Amino acid sequence: MSTLATPGERKVVGQELHSSESRLRLIIDAIPTVAWGTLPDGSNAFVNQRWLDYTGMSAEQAAGSGWQAVFHPEDIGKHVERWRASLASGRPFENEARLRRATDGEYRWFLIHGAPLRDEAGNIARWYGTAIDIEDRKRAEQALRRSESFLADAQKMSHTGSWAYDVASRRIIHSSEEYHRLFGFDPTASIPDPAEWVRRIHPDDQERAIDIMGQKIRERADYEVDFRIIHPDGTIKYVHGTAHPVVGPSGDLVEIVGSCIDVTERKLAEEARLDAQNKLAHANRATTMGQLAASIAHEVNQPITGVVANARAALRFLGAAPANLNEVRHTLEEIVKDGNRAGEIIAKIRALVKKMPPQKDRLDMNGAILEVIALTRSEILRSGISLRTDLAKELPAIQGDRVHLQQVLLNLVINAVEAMGSESNSLRELRIVTSDDGSNGVRVVVSDSGPGVDREAVERLFDAFYTTKADGMGMGLAICRSIIQTHGGRIWVTPNTPRGAVFQFRVPALG
């Protein structure tokens, strides 16, 4: 049998409930977060003080659907649609929307949550929720998206992709859209397995590129590597990659981060430039050899004349009674020597005139110079020029193209001969000197006693199409400079004492 509460008891309970609600209201009003409550149908029944302060609305104005007035016009439709869907399903509600601030009229982003309160029967009695200011977070996200967009645009315009490799899992954990494109993958697709990336490296470059990468990873060192990529459709890309190891606090290698840039256009342009340079250099050699035609003919004619004279002598020795076979043998040996000499001269001429791609091999500079001297000796002597050489012993070897470097020497010697040919003074001296320049390089000096070079011309002498000759094209010295630069060296000119010019070039030694 239940006992009914007396009026006094009910009054006390009512006062306690009212007091509890008042305390709860004070707490809700004090929290620095917008809070709200609605009836089961979604009409507003309660907003806390934070709401009133922020929106500038009164509780009466916010009642019912009055709260919608503070929402941004672009957000209210979507918000109401989601809110109604939650009311219908009875599931918690979440949305992002902009609410107007009363103090300055600014709309700020809020993350709005709502959840139902159910009675003992499971029916929804009220909805309660909060709205948290996320403006700063949204701005940070927007700034991040803009930065990512700028980075993506920059990578796309510069054809540069970025990547990151996790050492522990041995997987690529980041690949930018442009990095996907460089390797011929769909930019919107997920990151392929490492084996897929390797398969896109050109078969001729795979072993070398992977060896370099593996070695540098083991050394925990930065690296650069050049290789080709071949796409499924057969397109070939030339790329230049760089990478940097990331070491954790414990000293363990954690990641490798890097970038890859498409250098196909630059590579093809460089190949076209080198091809044009080689064609021009070949034409220059052919022209130079044409200038030396008379001297070369004289050089070749000497051993041929010897061959004819020795052959006649051999016939005389054979016709003697008895035949002098010892003299015949000696004469035939001389014929062989003269024949070999003529063959060597022709071989050297063919090597200089033949059109071949550049080949960098181990090269003895002194030997290359002596071959050029052998080809130009007759021209030097015919011009009444004395030749002095001072070739350093034990000169370090270089790595270079023999024909191209001989072309430089040939041009400098012919220019010196021509310069001194116009001089009427009795002193005509050509000097060729080699030395170890002391900085892991080989220096070659070609000096003459000609009229010299004007100070104003020194700066322009190696420019294309600039010439001091009446019938010159101005390409010889420009080609010389290009060849020396291709070998990693430099060429320059200075006045000689007491007269003439000194042309010098330096190329790095091998190793």
Q: How far is the first Cα of the chain from the last one, in angstroms, to the nearest whole number?
A: 110
pLDDT at 138: 87
Residue 386 CB: number of other CB atoms within 10 A? 12
What's the token pair of residue 269? 């342009």
Between 214 and 287, the higher pLDDT residue: 214
DSSP track, 387-440 = EEEEEPTTPPPEEE-HHHHHHHHHHHHHHHHHHHHT--SS--EEEEEEEE-SSS
Topology given in CATH for the domain delimited by 359-511: Heat Shock Protein 90 (3.30.565)
Assess whether pLDDT exceeds 80 at residue 307: no
Confidence of residue 111 (pLDDT cuts 50, 70, 90): very high
Answer with the residue of higher pLDDT: 247 or 307. Answer: 247
pLDDT band at 291 (very low <50, low <70, confident <90, very high): low
365-382 vs 325-353: helix crossing angle, rounded to 10: 100
Q: What angle do CA 499, 291, 477 make, to 5 degrees?
A: 55
Q: Domain 15-133 belongs to what topology?
A: Beta-Lactamase (3.30.450)
Task: Tell me the pLDDT band of 19, cut-offs 50, 70 and 90.
Answer: low
Residue 18: pLDDT band with limits 50, 70, 90: very low
Do 65 and 72 contact (CB within 8 A), yes or no? no
CA distances from 357 to 147, 275, 363 (A): 47, 8, 17
Distance between CA 327 and CA 308 in Å, rounded?
16
Q: pLDDT tens digit string along 454-470?
A: 776 666 676 655 555 54
pLDDT over 90, % of the chain: 19
Cβ neighbors of 287 (< 8 A, separation 6 or more) are: none
What pLDDT sits at residue 470?
47
User: Among 134-138, 354-358, 412-416, 448-452, whose mean pLDDT is lowest?
Assistant: 354-358
The tokens of 344 are what? 């060597």
The pLDDT value recorded for residue 82 is: 92
* pTM more than 0.75: no
pLDDT (mean) for 475-484: 78
Whether 193 has a pLDDT exceeding 60, the answer reads yes
The dihedral formed by the CA atoms of 78, 83, 85 and 89, expressed in degrees to the nearest 10: 160
Instruction: State the average pLDDT over residues 172-191.
Output: 88
Averaged pLDDT, 3-8: 58
Which band of pLDDT confidence, cut at 50, 70 and 90, is reported for residue 75?
A: very high
pLDDT at 354: 63
User: With 80 as the cut, is the pLDDT of residue 51 above it?
Assistant: yes
- C-alpha distances in Å from residue 409, one per residue of 125, 130, 388, 413, 456: 101, 87, 15, 6, 24
Share of residues in the chain with pLDDT > 70 (%): 77
Same topology between domain 15-133 and domain 145-262: yes
CATH, domain range 145-262: 3.30.450.20
Is the model's pLDDT at 439 over the cut of 50?
yes
CA dihedral of 52, 55, 56, 59, whole degrees rounded to 10: -40
Each domain of the chain, given as residue ranges in start order, spans 15-133, 145-262, 268-357, 359-511
Give the pLDDT score at 154. 66
At 178, the amino acid letter reads E
Q: Is the dihedral of CA 290, 291, 297, 302 positive or negative?
A: negative
Question: Which segment of 282-296, 334-348, 351-365 scores lowest on mean pLDDT?
Answer: 282-296
Ranges of beta strands (E only) in 42-182 are: 44-47, 93-100, 107-118, 124-133, 160-166, 171-175
Cα–Cα distances in Å, from 435 out to 150, 166, 290, 467? 54, 52, 31, 29
Give 244's strand partners: 257
- Taking only the tens place, the pLDDT of each residue in 339-359 is 777 676 666 666 655 656 667
Structure tokens at 261: 């840039």
Tokens of 173: 């954990």
Q: Tokens 């010159």 identify what position?
A: 472
Question: CB of 351 within 8 A of CB of 327?
Answer: no
Count CB atoms within 10 A of the CB of residue 434: 18
pLDDT for residue 12 is more than 60: no
| Tokens (6 digits) for 177 | 């859209």
Q: What is the mean pLDDT of the chain?
A: 80
Where does the pLDDT of residue 509 fall: very low under 50, low under 70, confident under 90, or very high at 90 and above?
Answer: confident
Average confidence (pLDDT) over 183-197: 88
pLDDT over 90 at 333, yes or no: no
Beta strands per DSSP E along 286-428? 361-363, 386-391, 398-400
For residues 354-374, average pLDDT: 79
Residue 236 in tokens: 């070939």
DSSP 285: H
Coil, strand or helix at 185: coil
pLDDT score of 167:
85
- CA-CA distances (angstroms) from residue 157 to 150, 229, 235? 10, 19, 19
Give the amino acid at 480: C
419, 451 in Cβ contact below 8 A?
Answer: yes
pLDDT for 281 equals 61
Q: Between β-strands 160-166 and 253-262, what pairing exists: parallel, antiparallel or unpaired?
A: antiparallel
* 14-23, 181-190, 264-273, 378-387: segment of lowest average pLDDT: 14-23
- Which residues make beta-bridge pairs with 224? 242
Confidence of residue 305 (pLDDT cuts 50, 70, 90): confident
Q: Under a CB-based contact definition with an 8 Å cutoff, are residues 173 and 191 in contact?
A: yes
pLDDT at 78 over 90: yes
